[in-house]
Amino acid sequence: MGEIIIRGMLPKDIDQVVAIEKICFSLPWSKESLEKELINELAYYQCAEDKGKIIGYMGMWRIINECHITNIAVLPEYRNKGIASMLINKMIEICKCSEIDRMTLEVRKSNSPAINLYKKFGFVEVGIRPNYYVKPVEDALIMWKNID
């Protein structure tokens, strides 16, 4: 693993991001959906890059003074190396510069590694969305974080 660069997602990254989606999620976002996100003025997408290869990414939507994390994914062979933390730190930095006060997300109740990561960043559990996920059906934890 070389020096990891966190940078804004570009149209040329979409095919690699779609491949990550297919590896990481049972219902991956389509290429078309991701292309629309890049032109959405209220969407922020960042990539983690290792020697020209996209190894992870994260997206969020701005909703007035809050943001909603839409997705975060890291290739399995790059997990537990701090990549997701780098992406989250970058998004928190963007929030601070954009007068965003709070961040929210949903996460599968069974996804303990992600839940623990979010808690490390100060996210707290505030509720449950029953049957939010499909393939398999599962409740989502709703988590919030205030931006300091």
SS (H, E, C) the chain: CCCEEEEECCHHHHHHHHHHHHHHCCCCCCHHHHHHHHHCCCEEEEEEEECCEEEEEEEEEEECCEEEEEEEEECHHHCCCCHHHHHHHHHHHHHHHCCCCEEEEEEECCCHHHHHHHHHCCCEEEEEEEEEECCCCEEEEEEEEECC
pLDDT tens digits, 18-64? 999 999 988 899 999 999 999 999 999 999 999 999 999 999 999 99
pLDDT tens digits, 94-147? 999 999 999 999 999 999 999 999 999 999 999 999 999 988 999 999 999 999
Of 32, 106, 133, 138, the active-site residue reads: 106
The structural domain count of the chain equals 1
Active site (annotated) includes residue 44: no
CATH of the domain at 27: 3.40.630.30
pLDDT at 2: 79
Give the range of the structural domain holding residue 107, as residue numbers without chain letter: 4-146
pLDDT at 86: 97
Active site (annotated) includes residue 118: yes
Of 35, 118, 133, 138, the active-site residue reads: 118
pLDDT at 27: 86
